[in-house]
Amino acid sequence: MLCGIDLGSRNVKVALRDQDGSLSFHKFDTVSFYREHGRAVEGQLRVDFAALGLGVPERVVATGYGRQTINLQGAEIIPELKAHVLGAIQQTNLTDFTLLDLGGQDSKVVLVARGKMLDFQTNDKCAASTGRYLENMAAVLDIDLAELSRHYENPVDLSSTCAIFGETELIGKVVEGHTLASLAAGVNYTIFKRIKPMLKKLMSDTIVFTGGVARNQALVKILERELGVPVVVPTHPQFNGAIGCCSYALE
């Protein structure tokens, strides 16, 4: 059994690949994962996989937001971008595409040609185009993420691209009396405005959209409408990095 781990800012995602090629998935809250299942030993993080109910993998490959700070004992550590490209290829069978990954606290765009990474853009310094931003805005509107992801028509114009100031601006729009649908659409369109420059620089004929934000169907529709290209969301967008780690373990 091979184990791929994506140490994300909000969740730790685990993909297990059996000998027959089948995959199973497990997700843990990041803080709880480190607090309850990890222990620092000689500068490394030791994880008791058996106690997690994951068995004893023969090989572990890890990546993710915590890759720079978490040295997982017994694991081979690979760069995030490499893991996500491998995962996207594994899940879609595509070799030429623009990869868009929107996670809990960062965003990545990668141009892939013939299965190789040609160029990339990242944003890990601002939460305005991430899942955290959507969660905050949904809370302001008092709706859940599922409801937020339904709306993309007639978006309210939100000019602030800052996650903090954006909340204040959104509250102002609520006071002005805009409909919930337009407010939610405005929030989703703001994400698009934030990532549009990165996508324009690395555009191709197809976008593969991964990360937890890829479940936002409104954003998928906005991307297709505004950019005029198909947007492919793999079956397991949130586990894409972990799946890529499993693919790397097979090489």
Question: Which one, of 168, 105, 176, 170, lies nearest residue 141 by Cα?
Answer: 170
* Residue 66 clears pLDDT 60, i.e. is over it: no
d(CA 115, CA 207): 14
Considering the chain, what is the average pLDDT of its residues? 90
Give residue limits of the domains in the chain.
2-81+241-249
**What would the DSSP string read from start to end of 38-76?**
EEEETTEEEE-TTTTT----SEEEEESTTTTT--BTTEE
The pLDDT assigned to 160 comes to: 72
CB count within 10 Å of CB 227 equals 16
pLDDT higher for 75 or 132?
A: 75
Q: What is the pLDDT of residues 161-186, one digit of tens each?
A: 666 677 888 999 999 999 999 999 99
- 43-52, 109-118, 160-169: lowest mean pLDDT where? 160-169
Please, which pLDDT band fits residue 129 given cuts at 50, 70 and 90?
low
The pTM for the full model equals 0.89
- Closest to 89 in 3D by CA, of 227, 249, 223, 248: 248
Q: Which residue has the tokens 């023969």?
A: 58
pLDDT band at 72 (very low <50, low <70, confident <90, very high): confident
- pLDDT tens digit string along 218-243? 999 999 999 999 999 999 999 999 99
Residue pLDDT, tens place only, 181-205? 999 999 999 999 989 999 999 999 9
Sign for the pseudo-dihedral over CA of 213, 214, 217, 219: positive
- Beta-sheet strand order (sheet of 207-210): 116-123, 107-113, 97-102, 207-210, 231-232
Please give the structure tokens belonging to residue 3.
Answer: 């184990």
